[in-house]
């Protein structure tokens, strides 16, 4: 009986709900074998059901070969993990780490991340880590083409722009080259972004996650004690089906959900109405079978393009706040394509006020 054989057997234990074993996920922190006694230390942040499942699987698979082996399994606390995993040294001055997550792609997650970070950077020290290895969007969203440099400690120095610290695989990879990596390689790159980037002092580090509940998400929550997660969805029922999976993953892994943002919620129209003499009028207008008041010539209308209630439904299910409904606006997409946050170009708009509101609620949720 030796450690190599034990590791080989532990590779047969999959993380519940994934086709990846606990060894390749980096959950095994340490093995200590003395005579007939084995101590296994696990880096594991999960709910009781998952922890019990993994513990039982370990016991069963090892006992099947080593009948008389005394097995002790220790679940390391977040504090112990942070002291052991080298990545925490580069995060020691980061006060809060917030994941921005979604169940599907194309729901505006990266756009939300950039605009929230830009809003909060006016008063706080903020960073963004783009963890979408296969489709990094941060370089385009903020118009960055620089390559990160290395400091004297062989750590990557984040790009700084608009008062924010930025890091993305897109800064390191040829944007024209496809990324064809298997899960373990993605997990290692995710860990390196934490271990080998000199973030310095930050009040909030936003993590722009890829959509879904795959290797990056699990690696993240097993290695880093997140301050919270913000769930991004759209009104459609199809988006809601997938976002439930992402929300439930964070719940099972004991990560606080700060709230839900519903993007593409409606079509917001506002403006002024004058009569033929050029005077502002009072009255009402009727659109989409609803009446809207006009007072002193001013009107504000929210047209429901999609009839679903994805944000409402998910926030109620999770018992967390619906942080905001962001309406459809072509300027949001245009600003992202042009590499400038919407909130920096359109300062006196309804959507800017939505991002201000979300930012304030996140600060309150984090206790900043």
Torsion angles phi and psi, residue 329, rounded to 5: -155, 120
Assess whether 29 and 151 both reside in one domain: no
Looking at the predicted structure, is the pLDDT value of residue 366 above 90?
yes
Query: Which residues have a Cβ under 8 Å from the Cβ of 275 and sit 6 or more positions away?
Result: 281
* Mean pLDDT, rounded, of the chain: 82
Assess whether 130 and 183 both reside in one domain: yes
Q: Model confidence at 357, in pLDDT bands (50, 70, 90)? A: very high
Which domain covers residue 208, as residue numbers? Answer: 86-263+309-366
* Cα–Cα dist 257/194, whole Å: 21
Greater model confidence, 60 or 248: 60
Q: Which of 41-55, 115-129, 182-196, 302-316 has the lowest mean pLDDT?
A: 182-196
How far is CA 172 from each of CA 28, 57, 60, 219, 235, rounded to the nearest angstrom?
29, 39, 43, 21, 35
Q: Model confidence at 112, in pLDDT bands (50, 70, 90)? A: very high
Looking at the predicted structure, is the pLDDT value of residue 268 above 90?
no
User: What is the tally of structural domains in the chain?
Assistant: 3
Segments in the chain forming alpha helices (H): 3-10, 48-63, 78-84, 109-120, 138-141, 169-172, 183-195, 215-223, 237-252, 310-318, 330-338, 342-345, 350-366
Assess whether 131 and 106 both reside in one domain: yes
The percent of residues in the chain predicted with pLDDT above 70, rounded, is 82
Assess whether 63 and 96 both reside in one domain: no
- pLDDT of res. 292: 76
Q: Which of 284, 302, 320 is the last residue of a domain?
A: 302
In the chain, the N- to C-terminal Cα span, in Å, equals: 51
Assess whether 277 and 223 both reside in one domain: no
* Cα–Cα dist 1/174, whole Å: 47
The percent of residues in the chain predicted with pLDDT above 90, rounded, is 31
How far is CA 325 from each of CA 99, 168, 234, 265, 315, rounded to the nearest angstrom?
19, 27, 9, 6, 12
Torsion angles phi and psi, residue 228, rounded to 5: 175, 175
Strands 290-294 and 257-262: unpaired
In the beta sheet, which residues pair with residue 187? none
Assess whether 65 and 147 both reside in one domain: no
- pLDDT of res. 50: 81
Q: Model confidence at 179, in pLDDT bands (50, 70, 90)? A: very low
Q: Residue 174 belongs to a domain with what CATH number?
A: 3.40.50.300
**Cβ distance 107 to 240 under 8 Å?**
no
Q: Is 286 helix (H, G, I), strand (E, B) or coil?
A: strand
Assess whether 254 and 201 both reside in one domain: yes
- pLDDT of res. 182: 47
Assess whether 126 and 149 both reside in one domain: yes
Assess whether 60 and 91 both reside in one domain: no
Q: Model confidence at 302, in pLDDT bands (50, 70, 90)? A: confident
Q: Listing from the earlier edge strand, what are the strands of the sheet with 37-43? A: 28-34, 37-43, 70-76
How far is CA 155 from each of CA 52, 120, 127, 138, 160, rounded to the nearest angstrom?
38, 26, 16, 20, 15
Q: Which of 17, 49, 77 is the last residue of a domain?
A: 77
In the beta sheet, which residues pair with residue 37? 34, 70
Q: Which of 42-51, 170-179, 320-329 has the lowest mean pLDDT?
A: 170-179
- pLDDT of res. 87: 44
pTM (whole model) above 0.75 = no
**Cβ distance 29 to 84 under 8 Å?**
yes
Assess whether 213 and 360 both reside in one domain: yes
Assess whether 73 and 110 both reside in one domain: no
Q: Residue 41 belongs to a domain with what CATH number?
A: 3.30.300.130
Q: Which of 35, 50, 77 is the last residue of a domain?
A: 77
Greater model confidence, 283 or 1: 283
How far is CA 122 from each of CA 98, 279, 345, rounded to the nearest angstrom?
18, 39, 14
- pLDDT of res. 82: 42
Q: Model confidence at 115, in pLDDT bands (50, 70, 90)? A: very high
Sign of CA dihedral 74, 78, 83, 85: positive
Torsion angles phi and psi, residue 31, rounded to 5: -120, 135
- pLDDT of res. 79: 44
- pLDDT of res. 173: 67
Q: Which residues of 112-147 are buried (b: 16+ CB within 10 A; e: fewer)?
A: bbbbbbbbbbeebbbbbbbbbbeebbbbbbbebeee
Assess whether 11 and 96 both reside in one domain: no
* Cα–Cα dist 344/349, whole Å: 11
Q: pLDDT tens digits for 204-250?
A: 999 998 877 666 677 676 667 789 999 998 887 766 677 777 788 88
Q: Is 218 helix (H, G, I), strand (E, B) or coil?
A: helix
Greater model confidence, 212 or 314: 314
Structure-block tokens of residue 216: 């990056």
């Amino acid at each position: 009986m030796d450690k190599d054989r034990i590791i080989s057997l532990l590779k047969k234990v999959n993380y519940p709900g994934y086709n990846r074993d606990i060894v390749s996920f980096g959950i095994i922190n340490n093995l200590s074998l003395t005579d007939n006694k084995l101590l296994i230390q696990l880096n594991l942040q999960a709910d009781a059901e998952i922890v019990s499942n993994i513990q039982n699987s370990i016991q069963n698979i090892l006992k099947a070969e080593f009948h008389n082996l005394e097995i002790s399994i220790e679940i390391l606390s977040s504090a112990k993990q942070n002291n052991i995993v080298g990545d925490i040294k580069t995060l020691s001055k980061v006060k809060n780490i917030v994941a921005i997550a979604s169940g599907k792609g194309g729901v505006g997650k990266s756009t939300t991340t950039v605009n929230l970070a830009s809003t909060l950077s006016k008063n706080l020290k903020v960073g963004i880590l783009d963890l979408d290895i296969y489709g990094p969007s941060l370089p385009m969203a903020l118009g960055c083409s620089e390559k990160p440099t290395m400091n004297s400690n062989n750590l990557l120095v984040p790009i700084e722009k608009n008062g924010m610290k930025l890091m993305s695989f897109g800064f390191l990879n040829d944007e024209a080259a496809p990324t064809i990596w298997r899960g373990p390689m993605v997990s290692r790159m995710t860990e390196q972004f934490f271990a080998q980037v000199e973030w310095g002092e930050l009040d909030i580090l936003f993590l722009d996650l890829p959509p879904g509940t795959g290797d990056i998400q699990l690696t993240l929550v097993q290695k880093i004690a997140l301050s919270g997660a913000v769930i991004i969805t759209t009104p459609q029922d199809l988006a809601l089906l997938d976002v439930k999976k992402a929300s439930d993953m964070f719940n099972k892994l004991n990560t606080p959900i700060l709230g839900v943002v519903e993007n593409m919620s409606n079509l917001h129209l506002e403006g002024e109405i004058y009569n033929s003499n050029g005077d502002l009028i009072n009255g009402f207008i009727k659109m989409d079978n609803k009446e809207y008041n006009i007072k002193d010539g001013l009107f504000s209308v929210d047209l429901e393009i999609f009839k679903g209630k994805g944000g409402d439904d998910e926030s109620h299910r999770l018992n967390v706040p619906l942080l905001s409904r962001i309406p459809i606006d072509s300027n949001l997409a245009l600003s992202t394509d042009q590499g400038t946050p919407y909130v920096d170009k359109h300062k006196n708009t309804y959507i800017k006020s939505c991002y201000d509101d979300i930012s304030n609620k996140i600060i309150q949720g984090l206790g900043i």
